[in-house]
Amino acid sequence: MTKQLKIIKENCPQNHKCPAVKVCPVGALSQSEHEAPLINHDKCIRCGKCATFCPKKALVLEI
Ligand code: SF4
């Protein structure tokens, strides 16, 4: 089964600019103000870069 990227909002303090947004090679992450980032699942290629990058482990690739 294909893995899906998920956001665990409880892990995201939502008080800063998400550094993972810039790491995504296909621009699948967006952020409004300092909210938890949103995933565009049509764009996401499930590479896992953002999941590795987020220091709070708020972005995870799950089956
Ligand atoms: S898994 Fe890769 S393609 Fe998907 S949002 Fe994260 S960095 Fe972007």
Q: What is the pLDDT of residue 6?
A: 97
Predicted confidence (pLDDT) per residue in 11-23, tens digit: 999 999 999 999 9
- Rounded to whole angstroms, the Cα distance separating 36 from 34 reads 7
Ligand 1 pocket: which of 7, 49, 53 to mutate (most atoms <8 Å of CB)?
A: 49
CATH no. for residue 50? Answer: 3.30.70.20
Instruction: Look at the chain and report how many structural domains it folds into.
Output: 1
Task: Tell whether pTM > 0.85.
Answer: yes
Which residue has a Cα nearest atom 7 of ligand 1?
24
Give the Å distance between the CA of 54 and the centre of ligand 1.
11
Q: What is the pLDDT of residue 2?
A: 86
Low-confidence ranges of the chain (pLDDT < 70): none
Residue 21: domain span: 4-62
